[in-house]
Amino acid sequence: MLILIIITFVLGYLAIAFEHSIKLNKAASALLTGGLCWTFYMLSSHSGDGSDHVTEQLLEHLGEIAGILFFLLGAMTIVELIDAHDGFSIITNLISTKSKRRLLWIVAGLAFFLSAVLDNLATTIVMVSLVQKLLANRNDRLLFIGMLVIAANAGGAWSPIGDVTTTMLWIGGQVTTQTVVLNLFLPSLVCLLLPLTIMSLMLKGDIESPVETQKIRAINVRNRNIIFFSGLCILLFVPVFKVVTHLPPFMGMLIGLGLLWLISELLHKDKDQEDRDKLSVVYALRKIDTPSILFFLGILISIAALQSAGYLSQLATVMDKRIGNVDLIVLSIGVLSAVVDNVPLVAGTMGMYDLSTYPTDHYFWQFLAYCAGTGGSALIIGSAAGVAAMGMEKIDFFWYIKKISWLALSGYFAGAMLFIAMHGA
């Protein structure tokens, strides 16, 4: 029966990897995989006591997973509320340059730092929308958006709230905020700067702006600014909350969401119900990417089943014996994350190596945060940022491989070598 767990997991992984080919949403595949893995694991227990033990394991894992899901739910809702108030236009309205090279550096730099504050998915959505407003030529847009994927992933890697995988390691206690920021900032910056420099040398001339269309907005500027800056302050408050109170980060995020909810209600209390609805947290909750949250749930409980069954510890032993070198193991995980979603890879690694093997802030966890966060840029489907960009601009898979993948890999390995050199490994 236990072999069925591995078969189910492999088939589920394949269904997720070939989501677009089989036309089945990866959330459905993940939920089926997670549910079936635990079902087979339960059926493999031979006694009532064994069944009780499996149930206890499931509930224990579910408690940890729920913390990640509630954190994501709160963060995504705050971002959607800011967007509903047109808050991101505060950033986009400041850009006026016509030079392709200068614009590329501006949007890439914005994506790099913005994704550290928000997350790489939300940042990609915002910045792709910006590029679409600034560039009429599709070829230019594609190159810019390809670089945005690299920038958003690199920027998310050095922040505990910038990338789901770094967030998972942070919530799990593998890394702390100060260590991640101090030790991963420079490698992540190099990961962006090398491909950015190469691409900027390839670009010449001025941008071709699209025809502007007037868009009537009913958003009060004062209210927009209040929501935008309140939202950013709340997102920045979460790491501070964890350090001061030692409570899980999702508690800080939920408190922040409640506070922003209160602020938005007070701002719009005198408006008509119809006007209030589209500016409310309730409306933002309807717009968040719920399938992505369910995908995380499904894939994380799948990994939990493998961990509880003991397969991940066995895999760790095999990797140590066959590869041995920690740097090569983590580099391999990063490259593999371009093919397979980095969320299950990191979740699996967290299951393979516990904190007794590598304690909090160990070199291994820091390097894993960098590699898993930036390695996915090598393929358009290798990260949430890439998938979002692919959907918004209809980017061809093989075009990305030809034009962007080699740039992403050059930055990935350059940043990795810098990280290794910084630690004298």
> DSSP letters along 172-197, please?
TTSS-HHHHHHHHHHHHHHHHHHHHH
pLDDT digits (tens, 9 = 90+) for 266-289: 988 888 777 788 888 988 898 887
Residue 389 CA to residue 384 CA, distance in Å, equals 9
Range(s) of the domain holding residue 340? 52-422
Confidence of residue 215 (pLDDT cuts 50, 70, 90): very low
Asked if 368 contacts 349 with a C-beta cutoff of 8 angstroms, the reply is: yes
Rg of the chain on CA atoms, in Å: 22
Residue 394 CA to residue 397 CA, distance in Å, equals 9
Residue 36 lies in a domain: no
Residue 222 lies in a domain: yes
Give the single-character DSSP code of 98: -
Asked if 387 contacts 381 with a C-beta cutoff of 8 angstroms, the reply is: yes
Q: What percent of the chain has pLDDT over 70?
A: 92
Asked if 149 contacts 386 with a C-beta cutoff of 8 angstroms, the reply is: yes
Q: Which one-letter amino acid corresponds to residue 176?
A: T
Residue 371 CA to residue 337 CA, distance in Å, equals 9
Tell me the backbone φ, ψ of residue 16, rounded to 5 degrees: -70, -45
Q: Which two tokens stand for residue 211?
A: 């025809």
Residue 39 lies in a domain: no
Closest CA to 68 of 369, 301, 334: 301
Question: Would you list the DSSP string of 1-26?
Answer: -HHHHHHHHHHHHHHHHTHHHHT--H
Residue 30 lies in a domain: no
Closest CA to 235 of 258, 217, 214, 252: 252
Residue 397 lies in a domain: yes
Closest CA to 383 of 79, 130, 155, 183: 155
Q: Which two tokens stand for residue 400?
A: 């990305």
Residue 5 lies in a domain: no
Which pLDDT value is given to residue 254? Answer: 93
Closest CA to 157 of 111, 219, 202, 204: 111
Residues 6+ apart with CB under 8 A from 64: 171, 172
Residue 28 lies in a domain: no
Which pLDDT value is given to residue 193? Answer: 96
Question: Would you list the DSSP string of 134-187?
Answer: H---HHHHHHHHHHHHHHHHHHHHTSTTTSHHHHHHHHTTSS-HHHHHHHHHHH
Measured from the Cβ of residue 311, the count of other Cβ atoms closer than 10 Å reads 19
Beta partners for residue 99, in sequence order:
206
Total domains, the chain: 1
Beta partners for residue 206, in sequence order:
99
pLDDT digits (tens, 9 = 90+) for 15-61: 877 777 788 888 898 899 999 999 998 888 765 566 788 888 899 88
More confident residue, 134 or 201: 201
Residue the block writes with tokens 């209600």: 265
- Among the residue ranges 130-144, 152-166, 385-399, the one predicted with the least confidence is 385-399
Residue 20 lies in a domain: no
Asked if 328 contacts 413 with a C-beta cutoff of 8 angstroms, the reply is: no
Which pLDDT value is given to residue 302? Answer: 87
Residues 6+ apart with CB under 8 A from 139: none
Closest CA to 165 of 299, 44, 61: 299
Q: Which two tokens stand for residue 423?
A: 């630690």
pLDDT digits (tens, 9 = 90+) for 87-133: 877 876 777 778 889 999 999 998 999 888 877 877 887 788 788 87
Task: Give how far Cα 213 sits from Cα of 89, 95, 209, 371, Å.
Answer: 15, 17, 12, 42
Which pLDDT value is given to residue 316? Answer: 65
Confidence of residue 184 (pLDDT cuts 50, 70, 90): very high
Asked if 188 contacts 148 with a C-beta cutoff of 8 angstroms, the reply is: no
Residues 237-249, mean pLDDT to the nearest whole number: 82
Report for 24-38, 187-201, 411-425: range of highest mean pLDDT: 187-201
Average model confidence (pLDDT) across the chain: 84
